Amino acid sequence: MNNHLLQTHITPEEYLAVVKQKPVKQSQYEPLIPVYKVAQCPFCQANCLARLDTYSLLLWSPVAMPGNMWGITQAIINRCPHIIMGEFFINLNGLLPTEVEYFNTRSEIPFVNPRLVDDKHWESTYPDMAPQAIMHALPICRIERKRFKKQFVPRYSLFTITYFARRHAPMFDWWMKGFKYQYMQLAGKHDDDWWDLARWVRQEKLCWLDASKPGLPVQQHPAPFPYASIKGYRADMITYRKGKISDFETGIYDRI
């Protein structure tokens, strides 16, 4: 999805020479990774940039690269005063990740966390909190051999959702002190509303970057929402071993 946004500054051979090292040397790996705009703050209009490995799935597993498990928060390289956190969702687009021995990800279909966009929680203390989420989509490649040459071929989709609030300190403090550590348990109990992205768009709690325009400006309701019909697994966690889903390590709700 949005393949025209893909950045490829190196060859597959140069990339593999670094990521196949054990352990991977962060000082060599990080400079290779492209920087993308993933959001724009609804309050100060600052661009939110993140360093994201769209060359392959090889280091998206937390086993391969600790810290890559659920969020893109650590990948964000510039922060405005209003950003709370960022999350990613990798959609395999019906393919199996046979190129990796072990791959662990969360729901293929993105969801909005209502606790991070809920005005009612703050009505009595900070009525101007105005929390909001910004969504974006990028391709992730698989390295394939075509015409006797290795190439980066876009196969998968990376969806990002970045959360903002006008008052960073109380929102972030609330997140860090309690909700963050309960997140895995709470994620297994949410209902269909979490995944109803069009609903969040209509409520003006979810906006998105317009990938069809230069500079990727923010779009919102009532503009046509491009991500209303994403297909894939809705899940807490999906684990693949040797290209197959591991039933004992996976919490899949359904597939749509």
Angle subtended at Cα 13 by Cα 10 and Cα 15, rounded to the nearest 5 degrees: 55
Cα 228 to Cα 233: distance, rounded to the nearest angstrom: 15
Q: What are the extents of the domains in the chain? A: 3-255
Give φ, ψ of 75 to 5 degrees.
-85, -15
CA distance 253 to 38: 28
What is the per-residue pLDDT for 250?
Answer: 62
Looking at residue 66, its pLDDT comes to 40
The per-residue pLDDT string of the chain (256 residues; one tens digit each, 9 = 90 and over) reads 899 999 999 999 999 999 999 888 888 998 999 999 999 999 999 999 999 999 999 988 654 444 443 355 567 888 899 999 888 899 999 999 999 988 888 889 999 988 888 888 888 889 999 999 999 999 999 999 988 899 999 999 999 999 999 998 888 887 776 655 555 445 544 567 888 999 999 999 999 999 999 999 999 999 999 999 999 998 878 889 888 888 756 676 778 8
